[in-house]
Amino acid sequence: MSYVVVSNLTKSFDNTPVFANINFTIKKGEFITLLGPSGCGKSTLLRCIAGLNSVNEGRIMVEGQEITDLPPQKRGIGMVFQAYALFPNMTAYENIAFGLKIKGINPKEIERKVKEIIEVVELQGREDHLIDELSGGQRQRVALARALVTQPRILFLDEPLSALDAKIRKRLRYMIRKIQKEMGLTTIFVTHDQEEAMVMSDRIFLMHQGAIVQSGTPSEVYAHPINEFAAGFMGNYNIIDETHSKQYFGRSGSHKTAVRPESIFINQPPVGVKCLSTPLEGVVTFKQLLGNVVRYAVQADDLDFSVDVLNSHAEQYAEGQTVKLYFSADEINDLRA
Ligand code: ADP
Ligand code: MG
């Protein structure tokens, strides 16, 4: 049973289309990420579902009720944006309580709810600080608390972590996901960051130029990109043209293939991995230490391959060295045009 159903959603600004015929369903409690490069239409799609932008065509249903033409405040959607959109002249507590006050909820009840949610986002001791006195991460937790305290049916998060430092970003990823799971809150998260989408989501909707080009669990989308865009966006895939796909991999010659750097092995296929029987001979042209992984550029024929080797037990290869490349047979992806 679908909790959110979006059908044929279409949006233009003046006569410029942003997206057309968007269709998807979301189950109750699912964490969905809209992932895609800047300008592909993620925020506009979210704003249309939230009622902050009108749509040209299509329908939005939540819990079996059509909300396409409802005003935003009647949709039961909580939102957190990249820019905090908090009231600077109010304290953290007052910011969080604001929405409840407007609804006319009694003060005792407001106090109980705000205290509870402050604990959830771990802002105890910061209640009376003005927004200016808080760090970026704390501000974003105020924004999150303000959205959660109204007990929305759906939570929308539009790049909420993009303005924060790497370390705080990672901590808040974890916090958001934990709270979302505990509350069983249906969530749509927006990001352009592939790693963020991978670690947080139940399912990823990968967007490109106003279309959802692929959707699936993080491991499905990562391991089986359907086209060259998906392969380029989801990982460091090697893209092999039609001619070489036919020559090396015995493909039909009518489509490209994509192979991940960790699905290619140097000199020796690992035990238990079925590899193509004929290796490709090449020369190491470049070697990069990425930390846990050593990334080699290997030139074979006129193609350059990226090959990743785990650093822990890596035999090191030198630039200029001739090597054999073994391809994991089950990890060569046929791409759609
Ligand atoms: P994303 O969030 O993926 O970066 P947006 O949804 O913000 O993308 O933008 C998608 C496209 O819609 C862009 O080309 C953008 O310029 C355009 N757009 C967004 N908002 C407006 C608006 N209010 N008026 C006109 N064009 C807009
Ligand atoms: Mg955006």
d(CA 45, ligand 1 centre) in Å: 9
Question: Is 256:228 a contact under the CB 8 Å cutoff?
Answer: yes
Least confident of 171-175, 199-203, 313-317: 313-317
d(CA 287, ligand 1 centre) in Å: 40
- pLDDT at residue 84 in the model: 75
With 90 as the cut, is the pLDDT of residue 300 above it?
yes
CATH annotation of 4-230: 3.40.50.300
Specify the residue with its C-alpha closest to ligand 1, atom 27. Answer: 13
Does the beta carbon of 323 sit less than 6 angstroms from any atom of ligand 1?
no
Specify the residue with its C-alpha closest to ligand 1, atom 7. Answer: 43
Taking the CA of residue 44 as reference, the ligand 1 atom at the shortest distance is: 6
Does the beta carbon of 40 sit less than 6 angstroms from any atom of ligand 1?
yes
Taking the CA of residue 53 as reference, the ligand 1 atom at the shortest distance is: 23
DSSP-based three-state secondary structure for 118: helix
Does the beta carbon of 210 sit less than 6 angstroms from any atom of ligand 1?
no
Is the CATH number of domain 261-334 3.90.700.10? Answer: no
* Shortest-distance ligand to the CA of residue 81: 2
Per-residue pLDDT of 26-60, as tens digits, reads: 999 999 999 999 999 999 999 999 999 999 999 99
Number of residues in the chain: 337
Q: What is the pTM of this model?
A: 0.93
Token duo for residue 281: 């001979």
Q: For the chain, what are the domain ranges?
A: 4-230, 261-334
In one letter, which amino acid is 131?
I
Q: What angle do CA 57, 61, 65 make, to 5 degrees?
A: 125
| Contact residues for 20 (Cβ-Cβ < 8 A; gap 6+) | 10, 11, 210, 211
With 70 as the cut, is the pLDDT of residue 313 above it?
no
